[in-house]
Amino acid sequence: MIPQSLKENKPKILRRLTFFALVLFVGAVQNIGLLPELAGLRFLPLLPLTVSVSLFEKETYGLNFGLLAGILVDMNVGRADGTNALFFALAGFVCGLLMTYVMMNNLITASLLTAVFEVVYAFFSYALHCGVSGGTLRELLGFYLPSALLNLLTLPLIYTFVRLINKQFRLMEDEEY
């Protein structure tokens, strides 16, 4: 016998499990190194994915999905000190919060939020990896910021895919009522 509350929330639970599996899959693909490098630039799809998923979930679930994505990034870094987990969790929380109370969910706001978090993450990564050891401005302008731009250019594909998943489960929710 399935409890009534579980039956009522089944589409929400399935949607969040699908997003969870998507974040795990993208994290595995990113960490294994299956993604190609473009002119030596690193492709990091977990940040646009975190922003996109957080736009369709509220701030609590945005924080959780961001934390999961950040943990996956930290697992691939030599020193897993949790800084990426904190950054991604904060990004997910802020995006979910803004969508809940301030902004409308569309590709333009997704692009704006992703651009902001990509640039902040580029400076954050530069400070963590190069700033302590005396990195040059050339590394920031030649690797970190162009990588952020590459990730931003892939956002429309990621956002559209996440939106399609969300739409299918929202239709399931509407059918049940």
Would you list the domain boundaries of the chain? Answer: 12-167
Question: b/e string for 8-26 if b means 16 or more Cβ within 10 A?
Answer: eeebeeebbebbeebbeeb
What's the predicted TM-score (pTM) here?
A: 0.88
Q: Which residues pair with 38 in a beta bridge?
A: 41
Query: What is the number of other CB atoms lying within 10 angstroms of the CB of residue 32?
Result: 9
∠ CA 22-108-90, rounded to 5°: 55
Model confidence at 1, pLDDT cuts 50, 70, 90, reads very low
Residue partners of 144: CB distance under 8 A and separation at least 6: 122, 123, 125, 126
pLDDT of residue 68: 95
Distance of alpha carbon 149 from alpha carbon 36, whole angstroms: 16
Residue range 12-167, CATH number: 1.10.1760
- Compute how many other C-beta atoms are within 10 angstroms of the C-beta atom of residue 42: 16
Residue 55 has pLDDT above 80, yes or no: yes
Q: What is the pLDDT of residue 176?
A: 61
Instruction: Give the model confidence (pLDDT) of 10-40 as tens digits.
Output: 888 899 999 999 999 999 998 887 777 777 7
pLDDT tens for each residue of 107-164: 999 999 999 999 999 888 888 777 666 667 777 787 788 888 888 999 999 999 999 9
